Structure 1
Amino acid sequence: MEAVEFIEMTPIQDIRQSEKWGLYLKSLGWEYSKTSSGILVVTKNIKVGSVAKVQRPQNLTQKDLNEIDQICREKKALFVKMEPFCFEDTNLLEQNGYIANTNPLSPPSTFYIDLTKSEEDLWKNISESGHYSINRSKREETKMRFYQNPLIEKLQPYFKMCQETGRRNRFFIQPYKDLLSKVKVFGKDSHLILAYDKNGNLLSGKFYLCHKDMVLYSTGGTSALGRKGKAGYQLLWDSILYFKGLGYKVFDLEGRSDDRFKEISKNWAGFTHFKEKFGAEVIEFPYPYNKYFSLIMKLIDKFFKMPV
């Protein structure tokens, strides 16, 4: 199973392979190890052993897979879920006992924006309706506020707005402690951008994490008042310019509808339509793969297709 054959630009390293991502997951009860080449292997203990995951590793080799096996066996993992990065040789995975799976943990498709492009070219890539929405928001005097390593006093109203958005659109919203953990671990590499109307009412917000040359759109929300306007469009456009100005190169918009995984992404049409207006490049990652170290789980998956 193959990913797309061409991608204009990819990050030096996906954020899910960063040390800080490992520390963030550790704060949520996971453990992490690294191979000799630095690949992050994350495990979590359960009653009968552990489970493991390796998300978005790049340039996997046979040596890497051998070391991942060793770590999993030492941790008594029942299985490991591998979510390959673009261009990974999935034939190598299959030769090493990995089985393609239809239950990704990370968004299986996303959009990348190339921040090395000029502001003029980035603007040209936006659709006509996107231009209209951004300009309308500006005419309505929407104000943006940028917070690096945001304080709790800004995170609390933002999270409440995200909860409201999740209930309205039937999305799962990770708990508040998850947001706090990300800010605590990523520190100055975490950014919160909030949009207010001219009367100071909160309209929309987006939370981002950064690593090396990439920016990850982590979470976002819109208030009931914000839904009446177009603040979200200006917010994303101003975010693009903000991170470009800070020197980042790849902006990952984190998720889009994917026909390969219709059940998982069935509620993603709305924000996919929104993101498409910004002319980003569509990225499809390879299918996730499982490798079972438990014979029982391997047999169950073979005959019943385990939902993991």
Structure 2
Amino acid sequence: MIDLRQTPEYANYMSSIGWIVSSIGRSASGRERKTYAYIRKFPIIGSFIKIQRPEILREKEIKLIERLSKKYRVFQIVIEPKYTKHCTLIAEYGFRQSRNPFVPSKTIHIDLTKPENQLLKEMHHKTRYNIKVAQRNGINVKPSENIKGFSEFWQDCAIRQRNMFLSQKKEITALYKAFGKNAKLLLGFKGKKLVSGILMIKTKNIAYYMYAASSDKGKKLFAPTLNAWEAIKLSKKLGCKIFDFEGIYDERFPLKSWKGFTRFKKSFGGKEVEHPGAFTKFRFPL
């Protein structure tokens, strides 16, 4: 299944927030899927390039990446392979494992081909209970197109709860617009008060839990649990085969701040999926 980062919609999103988008590796017949590379220019020092979760990565693609790096005077190349089998080739071309992946190196996949009652059964018993508690607390989760309201709500929660002052409103809005009908926004309300929300992005077979937020009041009412369950149900209804929680704590690249929401995500069941992480190579931007 093609990763989110290798879709035309995601390429449009990256372009809209200031990255140069280049494609490599497509055959003349067009039978092979092209790989997107994302380039950011910096004054004086050159450019940075990243290639994330490519479906195909051979010697041919590595050489094309090197050629692209010369064209844009790249000082750092980052490749985040989808498959472990690609790591040996990357290492042969001088790439080294990075301690800081740009996309989550470990995640949870929920198998949406299973019936709803089976998905509920595979959750932690407290998660099933908290869904009912949220419903009894009067939490109402419904679809919305108010991306401006959600981006402001997400940013407010990030500032209050995590002291995260760097704004993500532009990125949230741009992602929603780039994916169009495949961007689904589910908001949780207590009466008329917004208390939780999830921005979910859908590709052909996978639904991604991209941005989520809840107020302190919403957490006390278990709104995030009901919100996530409604997102899972909607993904299944839309024909997705996998619900990707898009990141949990990875012991290989530890971020302590991820432990809290990792417990929440794991409580929904599913299986843990690991990716190789990021590999980086520095070069003189000549």
**Preserved CA contact (<8 Å) 1:215 1:248:** yes
Q: Which residue of 1 aligns with 2:3?
A: 14
Deviation at 1:237, TM superposition (A): 0.8
Q: Which residue of 2 aligns with 1:59?
A: 56
Q: Matches of 2:11 and 2:167 in 1, distance apart? A: 17
Deviation at 1:100, TM superposition (A): 1.2
Would the alpha carbon gap of residues 52 and 65 (structure 1) be closer, same or farther in structure 2, given more than 3 Å must change? same
- 1:26 counterpart letter in structure 2: S
**Preserved CA contact (<8 Å) 1:58 1:88:** no
SS in 1 for 2:181: helix
Q: Which residue of 2 aligns with 1:269?
A: 259
Q: Matches of 1:287 and 1:185 in 2, distance apart? A: 26
1:170 aligned to which of 151, 162, 171? 162
Q: Matches of 1:165 and 1:178 in 2, distance apart? A: 16
- 2:18 counterpart letter in structure 1: G
Deviation at 1:295, TM superposition (A): 8.3
SS in 1 for 2:216: coil
SS in 2 for 1:205: strand
**Preserved CA contact (<8 Å) 1:60 1:88:** no
1:35 aligns with 2:24: yes
SS in 2 for 1:279: coil
Q: Which stretch shows the higher mean deviation, 111-120 or 237-246?
A: 111-120
- 1:241 counterpart letter in structure 2: K
Q: Which residue of 2 aligns with 1:183?
A: 176
List alignment gaps of at least 5 residues for structure 1. Answer: 1-11, 297-308
Matching of residues 152-301 of structure 1 within 5 Å: 154-170=146-162, 172=164, 174-197=167-190, 199-262=191-254, 265-294=255-284
SS in 1 for 2:40: strand
Deviation at 1:220, TM superposition (A): 0.9
**Preserved CA contact (<8 Å) 2:24 2:61:** yes
SS in 1 for 2:198: strand
Q: Which residue of 1 aligns with 2:30?
A: none
1:95 aligned to which of 92, 96, 108? 92
The one-character-per-residue Cα deviations of 1:219-259 (angstroms, maximum 9, x if unpaired) are 11112321221111111111111110010112111111112
Q: Number of paired residues?
A: 277
Would the alpha carbon gap of residues 193 and 161 (structure 1) be closer, same or farther in structure 2, given more than 3 Å must change? same
Q: Matches of 2:42 and 2:233 in 1, distance apart? A: 44
List alignment gaps of at least 5 residues for structure 2. Answer: 27-33
2:108 aligned to which of 102, 108, 111? 111
**Preserved CA contact (<8 Å) 1:114 1:251:** yes
**Preserved CA contact (<8 Å) 2:70 2:285:** no
Q: CA RMSD in A?
A: 1.8
- 2:247 counterpart letter in structure 1: G
SS in 1 for 2:2: coil
Q: Matches of 2:70 and 2:112 in 1, distance apart? A: 41
SS in 1 for 2:85: coil
SS in 1 for 2:256: coil
- 1:88 counterpart letter in structure 2: K
SS in 2 for 1:294: coil
**Preserved CA contact (<8 Å) 2:155 2:168:** no
Deviation at 1:155, TM superposition (A): 2.3
Question: TM-score w.r.t. structure 2 length?
Answer: 0.91
Q: Matches of 1:275 and 1:76 in 2, distance apart? A: 41
**Preserved CA contact (<8 Å) 1:59 1:88:** no
Identity %: 29
Deviation at 1:171, TM superposition (A): 6.0
Q: Matches of 2:285 and 2:173 in 1, distance apart? A: 39
Q: Matches of 1:86 and 1:251 in 2, distance apart? A: 19
Would the alpha carbon gap of residues 104 and 174 (structure 1) be closer, same or farther in structure 2, given more than 3 Å must change? farther
